[in-house]
Amino acid sequence: MQSSRAASIYLAAVTAVLAGCATLGPGAMPAPAPSASSPEPATGRQAAAAARDSYIAHVLTKTQPAWLEGKRMYSVGSGFFIAPDKVLTNFHVAGDCAVVTVGNDSEGEEIPGKLIAGDAAVDLAVLSTRQASTEPARFESAIYTESGQGLVIVGYPEHGLAVRRAEVSRVSARPADLVAERARFRFDGEVRRGNSGGPILDDSGAVIGVVTAKLDTVAVYQHTGQVVDNIGYAIGNRTILDFLRANKIGFLPALPGGGLPPDALLEKAHGFVRQIGCWK
């Protein structure tokens, strides 16, 4: 019975709510979400209103550089520096764009990026861009030591309006999924449109995967009658590092450490995570 239900969920997972992702695997029933009727603190409403007003003012007063004339923003995703002048993201985020931009995570400035390596089969791409004065992300190679807890995703999830500053969200994964001989692994946690291409970090701030897709809750429910939510998929480091080596692109190994809480991980990730814009 269990295998039949899992197969049904797997077959139902056919579309994604990220920018062009395809979903891949069976889900699991998550914990119930907080009630939508719960009152939001006044400070939260004020902060959201201020962020919205700031974003609108920025958009209305912003002038496009000459190299973006005649282009419009088609979609946004996330990416991160793996070298001072190279950014890793999903192929489905940056592989089919007339122009790709890399956001600077502070003033909303967009600088051009150039696709220098891409593989649609593994959904990875590397952009060259203006050199940044930031420490690039580091990659964990000892995945067998990961517990699957204390993980976060960092990126630019949409909340009706695109965000201008990276956000963090807790996620978890089964250790068996992390070390499996598969190109992608499943994780539990909230994933939104715009998270594609962002890193999954362990509690030391090292990359253990790249977000690539989310299970389509609506499609699963229509096919099975089951509500399965907050299930994402990530490309594992084995696949990522093989892709980088094949394209002769260097990367930095993780340093010893750990035990950082999400707010400290976000502060660290602000140095290397960026918003990727696809213009057509």
218-241 per-position pLDDT tens digit = 777 678 877 777 899 999 999 999
List CB contacts of 29: < 8 A, sequence separation 6 or more: 226, 227, 228
pLDDT beyond 60 at 35: no
Residue of 75, 78, 92, 105 with catalytic role: 92
Domain contains 142: yes
The reply to whether 172 belongs to the active site is no
Residue of 196, 202, 216, 229 with catalytic role: 196
The reply to whether 92 belongs to the active site is yes
Residue of 105, 123, 202, 203 with catalytic role: 123
pLDDT beyond 80 at 77: yes
Euclidean distance between CA atoms 94 and 112, whole angstroms: 12
Taking CA atoms, 26 is separated from 7, 9, 199, 215, 232, in Å, by 7, 5, 22, 8, 10
DSSP 87: E
Report the SS3 class of residue 94: helix
The number of C-alpha atoms within 13 Å of 57 and in the hemisphere containing its C-beta is 7
Give the domain CATH number at 186.
Answer: 2.40.10.10
Euclidean distance between CA atoms 183 and 74, whole angstroms: 28
Return the higher-pLDDT residue of 188 and 41.
Answer: 188
Enter the tokens of residue 14. 């056919």
Euclidean distance between CA atoms 51 and 199, whole angstroms: 24
Domain contains 105: no
Instruction: Please give the pLDDT value at position 132.
Output: 83
Domain that holds residue 178: 2-25+136-273
Domain contains 237: yes
Which residues are paired to 232 by β-bridges?
A: 187, 214
Most confident of 24-28, 116-120, 147-151, 254-258: 116-120
Return the higher-pLDDT residue of 23 and 96.
Answer: 96
Q: Helix H segments across the chain?
A: 2-12, 42-61, 91-94, 175-179, 217-224, 237-246, 262-269
Number of domains present in the structure of the chain:
1
Domain contains 8: yes
- At residue 87's C-alpha, the angle toward residues 81 and 89, to 5°, is 115
Query: What is the distance of C-alpha 275 from the center of its chain?
Result: 10
Average pLDDT, whole number, for the chain?
Answer: 81
- Residue 180, number of CB atoms within 10 A of its CB: 14
Instruction: Please give the pLDDT value at position 48.
Output: 60
Euclidean distance between CA atoms 84 and 132, whole angstroms: 5
Domain contains 155: yes
Domain contains 145: yes
Q: What digits encode the pLDDT tens for the residues 191-217?
A: 999 999 999 999 999 999 999 999 877
**Based on C-alpha coordinates, what's the Rg of the chain?**
19
Domain contains 250: yes
Domain contains 144: yes
**Pairing status of strand 86-89 against strand 73-83:** antiparallel
Euclidean distance between CA atoms 50 and 74, whole angstroms: 25
Which residues are paired to 168 by β-bridges?
A: 154
Which residues are paired to 209 by β-bridges?
A: 200, 236
